[in-house]
Amino acid sequence: MTTNAELWRRREAAVPQGVSSIHQRFFARGTNAEAFDEEGNRYIDLATGIAVCNTGHGDPRIIDAVKRQLDAFSHCSFQVTPYESYIALAEQMNARAPIAGEAKTIFLTTGAEALENAVKIARAHTGRRGVITFQGGYHGRTLLTLAMTGKVLPYKAKFGPMPTDVFHTRFPIPYHGFSDEQAIEGLKALFASSIEPSAVAAIVLEPVLGEGGFYTASYNFFKALREICDEHGILLVADEVQTGFARTGKMFAMDWVREANGVTPDIMTIAKAMAGGFPISGVIGRADVMDAPDPGGLGGTYGGSPLGCIAGLEVLKIIESDDLCSRAVAIGNEIKARLRALQQSGLSMIGDVRGPGAMIALELVKNRDASQPDPDMTKRIVQEGAKEGLLMLSCGLRGNVVRFLPALSASDEIIDEALDKLEALLGRLAKL
């Protein structure tokens, strides 16, 4: 039997150190919410490939659909000879996305590629250069999306200079004493100090910060942003790469906002969970905005691959047939209830528990003090959790947030088992 240790030694010899891996455990197979490594060890997967496998590992409906596509063809490039599944998936996205009026969609391969194209489209439509994003936001690893990303380590270090005309302002985080009102004032100060609003093509933000710590932008904040964008002719871009496809309890996180106050974005970026693990991403936007680039201005060799499109169509069916939006809310409520009960029972390391749907954050601090982050405890929970059979991730500008992204298809029994293991782990670490 090949061991994890042997594979890790081969990994260190063959793969650059810049490609990090959180766990020194090699994934061998997955079944719904469970993962098994090369040594046969079982884990409950609370990471799902960073919010990719919302429908679980190896759903037979997705696999069967992709197998049928493989029997036909695997690639031809939509820009050379188009195919029906791309059109069908675009039609589905246009109908479902919380975009005002007629919508159009382009498909690409990665989330970063989607963000790059969203900026290209916004600049083509407005004739402006500037892009505003938020501290703590994560938008990708290409140079433009690195410039847009509001977190230096580990993403930006050594990779400068960054593309110009990208500006950052502070994201509202009431838990850290920074309100919606202060964030809006900060944006206005940016207009006064760094770039005039008439030169801004787009304001780009995640409805829920991903790498930044799972902080949610309020409905009021989105309303204020929408008003500013409308006043100055700026496009509002929602980065739904991590929040999309039922993760937050709606098909898209912006569905919550539209339902609350009618606010919609002009452009949305999607990826991760849209195809159950097959690489595909997209940009959805107002039809007049999306048509701004000239023919040939958008595209990519592998963009909207037939395998990704077919898998994406199947994922949409599964989300509806299995009611995964409701399931996300139920799973998230259970996780938050258990963690908050631990917080109230006296675990002073638990500073905050938050998140919509099954996109849950556990913020670790010292002595219940939000100003005292505890990244060391966070690392211990993630690493010790793996020894107990839990695959988890950390995030946050301060490195002190454990994020939970379980499969939305996970059973009650699996979620309860995971929470029992986590509760025992937190209790043990609190006594050390």
**How confident is the model over 215-258, as pLDDT tens digits?**
999 999 999 999 999 999 999 999 999 999 999 999 999 999 99
All CATH 3.40.640.10 domain ranges in the chain, comma separated = 62-321
pLDDT of residue 210: 96
Give the model's pLDDT for residue 432. Answer: 67
What integer pLDDT is reported at residue 261 of this predicted model? 97
Quickly name the fold that domain 4-55+323-431 has: Aspartate Aminotransferase, domain 1 (3.90.1150)
As its CATH architecture, domain 62-321 has 3-Layer(aba) Sandwich (3.40)
Q: What confidence score (pLDDT) does residue 1 get?
A: 79
Residues 6+ apart with CB under 8 A from 79: 299, 301, 303
Residues of the chain with pLDDT under 70: 432
Site of tokens 């946050």: 396
d(CA 292, CA 288): 7
Q: Is 0.95 topped by the overall pTM?
A: yes
Phi, psi (rounded to 5 degrees) for 353: -125, 130
Which CA distances in Å does 322 have to 251, 318, 359?
Answer: 13, 6, 18
- Which pLDDT does position 354 carry in this prediction? 98
Question: How many Å apart are CA 134 and CA 26, to the nearest integer?
Answer: 34
> Which part of the chain has CATH 3.90.1150.10?
4-55+323-431
Answer yes or no: are the C-beta atoms of 86 and 265 closer than 8 Å: no
